[in-house]
Amino acid sequence: MCGIVGYIGENGASPMLLDGLKKLEYRGYDSAGIAVYQNGGVQVVKTKGRIADLEQKLSKQSPLVGTVGIGHTRWATHGAPTDANAHPHKGGDGRITLVHNGIIENYIELKSMLETAGYRFLSETDTEVLAHLFDYYYKDDLLEAMQKVMRTVRGSYATAVLSTDAPDCIIAAKKDSPLIVGKGDGENFLASDIPAVLKYTRECYLLEDGEIVLLKKDGISFFDRDGAPLKKEIYRVTWDAEAAEKGGYAHFMKKEIAEQPKAVRDTLSPRLQDGKITIPELHLTEEDIRAIGKIHIVACGSAWHVGMAAKYIFEAAAGISCETDLASEFRYRDPIIRKGDICIVISQSGETADTLAALREAKRKGAHTVSVVNVVASTIARESDDVIYTLAGPEIAVATTKAFSAQLAVVYLLALHFAKAVGRLSPESEVEKCAQLSALPEKIESLLALEEDMAALAKQFAAAKNVFFIGRGLDYAISLEGSLKLKEISYIHSEAYAAGELKHGTISLIEPGTPVVAVATDEDLFEKTLGNIKEVRARGANVIALVSGEHQEVREFADYVIYVPKADKMLTPSLNVIPLQIFAYYMALERGCDVDKPRNLAKSVTVE
């Protein structure tokens, strides 16, 4: 994670650097800093805390007026979030100034080599090793030094470097962490992600692993890791920056919850045409689909929960065996992938390090890879064989909502597409399913009206120490998501359990007053889940039940009942998740938490 920016041009660098960092704050927000060329040297201002703290620090000193600079917002990996560990870091006697996103895996051995060579370290970071190492290799050629650094370090990096010896240049490189270049007129930009430069330019270059860029105010040169010049295509950004503004809402999360009907509609409608599912991005023939032995789904966090739901959906709808893995496990467990298997990777950002590595592993083993990604032209999107974009628009709140819903929508499309190919969906049923999908955004919209009820429940339960979520089948998958949403933004301990598994341990944690959210919308399993509700109630739990349709009888066993509209079983996750998101949001508000930027988290997790 971490976000990096760079500016070289004729205007003051600081405003762009600060502005860019604000757009990248979703990547990490525990400390921040900028470095600007000034008076023959490089001035660094950095601080623990957020960009706002950095701005405050800057306002208390004479302004940085230089026209070349780099900046960083940090998510700590090596060393606590302190002023000393914040980037930029200096290398040598201050000749080098550097920012870095990623992890240098062999930093301990490099540090000892550099200490022996006389370098002194002021921080606990792996990044400072990179700064000194650059100085160590730097004679008079930035490109040569960068190549040597890249040959020496192991790990992941996007890095940008200033040298007092070459004040008209910024040199940068990347491996396994994103980096883009914005092309301006008499000025150029560098950033971890496109939104940071969108105010200034729509013409970008997307760096690939092992590429190096040398930026001057009126020139951009690309090189491969051997120093050979590269020609790169411009990527023209067509989407709007305003989509990433709060637009009157108190929080991005609130706005993004409200945007879910649109996100789902935008994702579904181009792929539903005249009662037919069409996914032109998918380059699998009907024959290929019939030959699939297994679908491997890999993802992290909430996207993994979509994968958990997808397992039930693919198997039920298409009768194709499906396994869902956490990307961080899949990448190291030497998974068995047979001829014909496909791998679906799900990722909002398209940059999650473990998911990317899992994608590469699946490709290496011969699987056809399909990614479900929200960020256009992100690394996962670029590297997978097929990419199906979720058209949710930019998602800013760290806790995902609308991207999650859009991912579910793609899962439904894929499941029905596969079902059709294997002969389990007749043309009549396809028309009916398309109609149900078209009606889904409206049903989601109707659930937004539960806001007051969920806010009232949150008032009641805000002081809880533990909250349990239970459900079976698809209700279990959505319980996982409800529980994650709650814990990540309200800091209340929460666990989700397959309701039938509860009595194998977790039930011992239920005490009088423990809140249990029971998702019981699967009609086929309703009686079973009701049985589990009775079990926790008998031990004093305060039960909030989520049921679909009538089911008045549940009132006898649950303290609170939330009714969600009836829907085709496959589509229930899209409905059930809405009240759970709203509940988590209000729980966090009640507890005075920073809803959009929960502690210790980052939206784009580009380190493993």
Instruction: Cite the active site residues.
Output: 2, 603
Stretch that binds ligand G6P, among 38-46, 95-103, 296-304, 457-465 (CB under 6 A): 296-304
Please state, in angstroms and rounded to a whole number, the distance separating the CA atoms of residues 348 and 267.
13
Beta bridge partners of 370: 344, 386
CB of 104 to ligand G6P, least distance (A): 22
35, 220, 295, 300: which one binds ligand G6P (CB under 6 A): 300
The 3-state secondary structure of 78-136 reads CCCCCCCCCCCEEECCCCEEEEEEEEECCHHHHHHHHHHCCCCCCCCCCHHHHHHHHHH
Question: Smaller CB distance to ligand G6P: residue 66 or 301?
Answer: 301
Give residues with Cβ within 8 angstroms of 292, minimum separation 6. Answer: 320, 340, 341, 342, 418
- Shortest Cβ distance from residue 109 to ligand G6P (Å)? 30
User: How many beta carbons lie within 10 A of that of residue 518, not counting itself?
Assistant: 28
- Here's the x/- map for ligand G6P, 3-42, by CB under 6 A: it reads as ----------------------------------------
- Number of residues engaging ligand G6P in binding (CB under 6 A): 16
CB 184 within 8 A of CB 9: yes
Q: Which is nearer to ligand G6P, 138 or 585 (CB)?
A: 585
Q: Which is nearer to ligand G6P, 278 or 600 (CB)?
A: 600
- Closest to 266 measured CA to CA, from 406, 373, 377, 434: 406
Tell me which stretch binds ligand G6P (CB under 6 A): 184-192, 251-259, 364-372, 600-608: 600-608
Closest separation between CB of residue 400 and ligand G6P, Å?
4
Minimum distance of ligand G6P from residue 401's CB (angstroms):
9
Angle (CA) 421-424-430 rounded to 5° is 80
Residue 605 binds ligand G6P, judged by CB under 6 A: yes
**Between 163 and 401, CB nearer to ligand G6P:** 401
**Coil, strand or helix at 18:** helix
Task: Annotate each residue in 539-578 with x if it binds ligand G6P (CB under 6 A) or - if it does not, as one string.
Answer: ----------------------------------------
- Shortest distance, position 540 Cβ to ligand G6P, whole Å: 33
Between 374 and 521, name the residue whose CB sits nearer to ligand G6P: 374
Q: Which of residues 461-520 bind ligand G6P (CB under 6 A)?
A: none
Question: What DSSP string runs through 241-270?
Answer: SGGGS-TT-SSHHHHHHHTHHHHHHHHHGG
Q: Which of 272, 303, 359, 589 contacts ligand G6P by CB under 6 A?
A: 303
- Interatomic CA distance for residues 46 and 35, integer angstroms: 8
Rounded Cα distance, 457 and 479, in Å: 17
**Residue with the CB atom nearest ligand G6P in the bound state:** 301
- Reading the block at residue 600, the tokens are 């210790």
- The CB-of-381 to ligand G6P minimum distance in angstroms stands at 11
Smallest gap, in angstroms, from Cβ of residue 284 to ligand G6P?
A: 23
Q: Is 415 exposed, middle or buried (0-12, 13-18, 19+ CB in 10 A)?
A: buried
Largest CA distance in the chain: 79
Window contacting ligand G6P (CB under 6 A); options: 52-60, 175-183, 298-306, 411-419: 298-306
Comparing CB distances to ligand G6P, the nearer of 153 and 388 is: 388
Instruction: Identify which of residues 188 and 604 has a Cβ nearer to ligand G6P in the complex.
Output: 604
* Proportion of the chain in helix, strand, coil states, percent, rounded to 5: 40, 25, 35
Q: Which of 166, 261, 603, 608 binds ligand G6P (CB under 6 A)?
A: 603
The dihedral over CA atoms of 518, 522, 526, 531, expressed in degrees to the nearest 10, equals: -40
Among 3, 71, 301, 441, binds ligand G6P (CB under 6 A): 301
Nearer to ligand G6P, 126 or 193 (CB): 193
Quote the DSSP letter at residue 176: B
What is the CA angle 392-2-27, rounded to 5? 25
| 101 contacts: CB under 8 Å, gap ≥ 6 | 1, 2, 3, 4, 27, 72, 157, 158, 159, 177, 178, 192, 606
Query: By CB under 6 A, what part of segment 388-447 binds ligand G6P?
Result: 398-400
Minimum distance, C-beta of residue 102 to ligand G6P, in the bound complex (Å): 16
Binding mask 331-360 for ligand G6P (x = CB under 6 A): ----------------xxx--x--x-----
Residue 531: enclosing H or E segment and its boundaries? helix 526-538
Is 26 strand, coil or helix? helix
Binding span for ligand G6P by CB under 6 A among 240-248, 268-276, 574-582, 598-606: 598-606
166 vs 356, beta carbon nearer ligand G6P: 356
Burial class (CB in 10 A: 0-12, 13-18, 19+), 599: exposed
Footprint on this chain of ligand G6P (rule: CB under 6 A):
300-303, 347-349, 352, 355, 398-400, 601, 603-605
